[in-house]
Amino acid sequence: MKKLLTRFFLLVIVIIVIYGLSYAWRAFPIISGYGAKNLCSCVYVSGRDTESVITNELGSFPLSLGTFSIDLSDSSAYGEVFGMAAKKAIYRKGLGCTLISEIDESAVRSQEYHLSDSNIVLSDTLEWPLGRDTPDSISSTINMDVLKATVDKAFLEPDKEHPQNTRAVVVIHDGKLIWEQYAEGFDRNTPQMGWSMTKSITNALISLLIKDGKLHLYQPAPIEQWKTEGDPRGTITIDHLLRMSSGLEWEEEYAGPSSATNMLFKQADMGVFAASFPLVYPPDTKWYYSSGTSNILALIVRQSVGGDYYKFAYERLFNKLGMTSAVMEPDASGTYVGSSYMYATPRDWARFGLLYLNDGVWNGERILPEGWVKYSSTPTPGASRGEYGAHFWMNAGAVGNPSDRWYPDAPTDIFSMNGFEGQRVFIIPSKKAVIVRLGLTKRGNFDFNRFLKEVLSALPE
């Protein structure tokens, strides 16, 4: 009996070791890839201090298992875990940082790209958003004392165990920048990561191609892999992808290896990878949030635009809005990571939000197709709490029970761009407001409902 027990415990230990090694084999490249890519972007795009990024962005478990460094000689960053699973990210001016995956570094560096020839310089004398200046006077109908107290509170740390880590707040009312505030080490000129707020940028790029007649919202998505006769994925439309109702198999988890993390930190061509997954539900029968569908859309944008791909977002969108800080980052294949990788200053994120508040019109010019903002901000039927539209989050509430919503003390007409670690651009038509809040915040550590309630209470009805 003693020998049997010994053998049993040895077997258990062997199984645990094998499982641990298997998990490490899958997880370590994600840790090192995440660290290398984000260190690269924070240093070369945001202009931040290396040690600050390693301490703040990469200092908590399991990222703390990794070792990360910068190499200024070739504008790169490295990550590894216990000397294994080494990853490298490289910086290219205008393109930001790219994680080297599957494709040789020399091949990535040799890719040709031509950004917009326009050198947009904002006037120091014109008011935001057309320039850099802030308004001389604020409407007396705005309670500035309440607004200041609310924003100040967003930067305090009353609970050290659950830090808020707010880095920027920008408040726009009736087209005017009425408040901005930044944490130490950040200012109005610091580009900050949007994470999944980038999905709403992808929404805009798709709309421009629909406006041009190159794409059609309700026709099958032009993915070559899906055109084989009998492939059920051939019925997936652009609309299904935008509303996260494609029915494709996907796992949007970030605690370990998953479809999403494998895509972002192991794949060279993220759109092709996401498009390779099978259909598990008929299109438009189930809503499931998926960064994979956003990168399928990003791939469609690239294929539809063609030769001027790298100019497209800048000349048709960013330059028109004066978003001079915007940097979209590509995967190793050269396609922008439309799910996750865009940097911009808080003011520029606010400019994009203002475009949607103004129904897609900017300075008298219609940028987005007529009706596009309404489409984007209409809840998709599969989202049971009315929480999602078309690459924008909603606050509509459940059908027949609007009180069952994410922000119960904020208006139901809010729609927003939401990103990992507390990135938000809230668009509130009923208040003629755009509110930007950026940070490095674990889920639940910042009370967005209270923040919105208090900021909006300072604005006129």
**Which tens digit of pLDDT belongs to each residue from 194-214?**
999 999 999 999 999 999 999
- Residue 24 clears pLDDT 90, i.e. is over it: no
Q: Which residue has the higher pLDDT, 80 or 27?
A: 80
Helix axes 198-211, 346-357, angle to 10 degrees: 40
Rounded mean pLDDT, 163-190: 97
In the structure, what pLDDT confidence band is assigned to residue 116 with cuts at 50, 70 and 90?
A: confident
Confidence of residue 21 (pLDDT cuts 50, 70, 90): very low
Note the Cα 241 to chain centre separation in Å: 16
Token pair of 191 as six digits:
């580009």
Q: For residues 436 and 180, what is the distance between their CA atoms, to the nearest angstrom?
A: 9
Across 141-150, average pLDDT: 97
Query: At 120, is the pLDDT very low, low, confident or very high (cuts 50, 70, 90)?
Result: confident
pLDDT at 1: 67
pLDDT over 90, % of the chain: 89
DSSP at 197: G
Structure tokens at 178: 């009425």
Specify the pLDDT at position 121.
85
User: What is the domain partition of the chain in residue ranges?
Assistant: 2-100, 166-457
Tokens representing residue 427 in the block: 């668009």
d(CA 13, CA 10): 5
What confidence category does residue 115 fall into, taking pLDDT thresholds of 50, 70 and 90? confident
Q: What is the mean pLDDT of residues 51-60?
A: 97
DSSP SS3 for 177: strand
In the predicted model, what is the mean pLDDT of residues 70-84? 97
Instruction: Write down the pTM of the prediction.
Output: 0.95
Structure tokens at 349: 């994120």
The pLDDT score that the predictor gives to residue 8 is 53
Which CATH code of 3.40.50.1110, 3.40.710.10, 3.90.660.10, 3.30.479.10 fits the domain covering 166-457?
A: 3.40.710.10
